[in-house]
């Protein structure tokens, strides 16, 4: 018989603060998590957010959960560390529903980085509402995902504003959003410096939801294909802080979004891993046998401990990157490493859990299979694992040379002295 061993549940103090702050605005976090779990299988089947979620207070608090304090958001949820803790907790209940909850989502960072104070005010004001409000971030296109700077969606200036033409795909919550922060190029030959960002309102003539993809996992987050056909938007939709630098380098706003969201998304992955670990332990504690007859009790415990070790490492990496971001320390590389590590751990753990539990475990704990499918998407979204590893390798190549790496032509007495301890 396998003893009950509780998995690591993250930083209780931060979670308690988040819980108290949300309760003050009318949202009982554990009740919400309970409802997410209750509707997890249904949302996985239908790709829809079930109706019973939306009481007025819950909606308002969710709408505001990524809104900066300066625009009326909750001060206790302003830090990335608190937001990562919240996402880990909700994803432990259900990852797809956690990613589908209302709020500005991935559109928040580029608006903060690129928009004027007036544009920011207008954008965030929308989330002070009693009906669910989403925003989306649209950069990926059918022919360019990893190499986003090669985008084809074209922005042409007109006397009244701009006309957008092109297609965006895999846009999270794209069909639900009433604002879509869309990246388009004014001149492909200028590469990243030709890219501009526009806040496009849903329902603008020429903007159409072509379809919602049938996904293997994370179905409730509804990835949409959006087409822009002679879509006319006013001058004010161009996100422009008012200084030329931000306008010329709108792509930096997208990079800021990825740097900000990679630790958040990685926390979602950690939540999935914790759910899988709990389901697996519950199966075994309730008397379920490992699929392999060669896997004895000691081996099962060893594997659970090894799963715990990796979950803890991924959790700490998320929190460390979030802490750095909260302290205004550059995090691009940390964000890439966190995402690359957490997605790999999620893929390994969901796979190992299926292997350990086997068909019998799967029959009594179907969430193991659902989480395995969800984890497939983690490697791809917000930059694939290969691309993260490529960026890490490039950064390593750019690193300053070390004393022992001096060119061969430098004579021994010219070499820099070793750093004293
Ligand atoms: C769940 C989910 C949510 C998403 N949400 C959004 C969203 O809200 N907004 C949005 O704009 N996009 C979103 N995306 C899209 C996502 O960002 C892209 O799918 C991702 O960047 C990869 O692009 P791609 O699918 O075109 O793959 P490709 O770029 O075509 O890559 C295909 C394969 O080639 C590899 N590859 C590509 N280039 C290189 C290289 N130079 N070296 C080595 N290997 C390489 C990749 O690693 C991958 O394995 C989402 C995707 C998913 C799965």
Kindly give the number of the ligand 1 atom that is closest to the alpha carbon of 217: 1
Q: How do the domains of the chain map onto residue ranges?
A: 12-105+117-125, 135-251, 252-398
First to last CA, the chain: 53
139 has a pLDDT exceeding 50: yes
Domain 12-105+117-125 fold: Butyryl-Coa Dehydrogenase, subunit A; domain 1 (1.10.540)
Residue 177's pLDDT band, with cuts at 50, 70 and 90, is: very high
Atom index in ligand 1 nearest the CA of residue 148 equals 21
Ligand 1 binding residues, C-beta < 6 A: 106, 137-140, 145-146, 170-172, 218, 223, 377, 380-384, 386-387, 390
The yes-or-no verdict on residue 278 having pLDDT over 80 is: yes
Q: What is the b/e burial string over 22-32, where b = at least 16 CB atoms within 10 angstroms of the residue's CB?
A: beebebebeeb
Q: By C-alpha distance, which of 174, 183, 181, 172 is closest to 150?
A: 183
Say if residue 39's pLDDT is above 90: yes
* pLDDT tens for each residue of 339-392: 999 999 999 999 999 999 999 999 999 999 999 999 999 999 999 999 999 999
Task: Identify the burial level of 295 via C-beta atoms within 10 angstroms of its C-beta, where 0-12 means exposed, 13-18 middle and 19 or more buried.
Answer: middle
- Ligand 1 midpoint to CA 141 (Å): 9
CA atoms within a 13 Å half-sphere pointing along the CA-CB vector of 381? 29
pLDDT at 249: 85
Residue scoring higher pLDDT (397 or 219): 219
Within 8 A by CB and 6+ apart from 420, the residues are: none
The pLDDT assigned to 364 comes to: 94
The protein residue whose alpha carbon is closest to atom 32 in ligand 1 is 146
309 C-alpha to center of ligand 1: Å?
29
- Cβ–Cβ under 8 Å, residues 100 and 222: yes
Look at residue 54 in the predicted model and tell me its pLDDT.
77
- State which CATH number among 3.75.10.20, 1.20.140.10, 3.40.50.10860, 1.20.1560.10 fits the domain covering 252-398: 1.20.140.10
In 3-state terms the chain splits into helix, strand, coil percentages (rounded to 5) of: 55, 15, 30
Fold for the domain defined by 135-251: Butyryl-CoA Dehydrogenase, subunit A; domain 2 (2.40.110)
* Ligand 1 atom closest to residue 168's alpha carbon, by position in its atom list: 11
Distance 77 CA to ligand 1 centre (A): 29
Best residue among 251, 377, 387 to mutate for probing ligand 1, ranked by most atoms within 8 Å of CB: 387
Q: Tokens standing for 37?
A: 């779990």
Ligand 1 atom with least separation from CA of 141: 26
Ligand 1: atom nearest CA of 140 is: 11
- Tens of pLDDT along 287-322? 999 998 888 889 999 999 999 999 999 999 999 999
Going from the Cα of 380 to the center of ligand 1, the distance in angstroms, rounded, reads 5
Distance 58 CA to ligand 1 centre (A): 33
Contact at 8 Å (CB) between 49 and 90? Answer: no
Asked if pLDDT for residue 418 goes beyond 60, the answer is no
> Tens digits of per-residue pLDDT, 111-123?
999 999 999 999 9
């Amino acid at each position: 018989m396998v003893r009950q061993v509780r998995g690591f549940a993250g930083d209780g103090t931060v979670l308690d603060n988040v819980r108290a702050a949300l309760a003050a605005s009318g949202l009982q976090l554990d009740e919400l998590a309970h409802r997410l779990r209750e509707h997890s299988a249904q949302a996985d089947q239908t790709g829809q957010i079930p109706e019973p979620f939306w009481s007025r207070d819950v909606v308002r608090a969710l709408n505001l959960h990524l809104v900066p304090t300066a625009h009326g958001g909750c001060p206790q949820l302003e830090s990335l560390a608190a937001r990562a803790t919240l996402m880990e907790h909700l994803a432990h209940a259900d990852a797809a529903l956690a990613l589908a909850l209302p709020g500005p989502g991935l559109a928040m960072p580029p608006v903060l980085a690129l928009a004027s104070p007036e544009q920011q005010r207008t954008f965030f004001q929308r989330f002070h509402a009693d009906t669910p409000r989403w925003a989306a971030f649209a950069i990926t296109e059918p022919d360019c995902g990893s190499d986003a700077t090669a985008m084809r969606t074209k922005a042409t200036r007109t006397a009244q504003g701009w006309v957008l033409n092109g297609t965006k795909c895999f846009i999270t919550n794209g069909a639900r959003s009433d604002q879509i922060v869309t990246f388009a190029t004014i001149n492909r030959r200028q590469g990243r410096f030709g890219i501009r960002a526009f806040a496009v309102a849903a329902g603008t003539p020429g903007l159409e939801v072509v379809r919602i993809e049938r996904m293997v996992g994370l179905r409730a987050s509804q990835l949409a294909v959006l087409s822009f056909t002679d879509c006319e938007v006013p001058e004010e939709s161009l996100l422009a802080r008012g200084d030329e630098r931000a306008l010329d380098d709108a792509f930096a706003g997208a990079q800021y979004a990825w740097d900000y969201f990679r630790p958040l998304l990685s926390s979602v992955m950690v939540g999935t891993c914790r759910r899988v670990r709990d389901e697996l332990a519950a199966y075994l504690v309730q008397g379920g046998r490992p699929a392999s007859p060669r896997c004895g009790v000691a081996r099962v415990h060893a594997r659970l401990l090894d799963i715990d070790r990796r979950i803890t490492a991924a959790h700490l990496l998320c929190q460390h990157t979030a802490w750095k971001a909260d302290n205004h320390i550059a995090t691009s590389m940390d964000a890439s490493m966190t995402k690359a590590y957490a997605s790999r751990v999620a893929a390994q753990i969901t796979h190992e859990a299926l292997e350990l539990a086997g068909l019998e475990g799967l029959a009594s704990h179907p969430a193991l299979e659902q989480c395995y499918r969800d984890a497939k998407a983690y490697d791809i979204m917000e930059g694939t694992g290969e691309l993260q590893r490529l960026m890490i390798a490039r950064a390593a190549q750019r690193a300053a040379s070390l004393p022992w790496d001096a060119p061969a032509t430098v004579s021994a007495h010219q070499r820099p002295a070793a750093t004293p301890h």
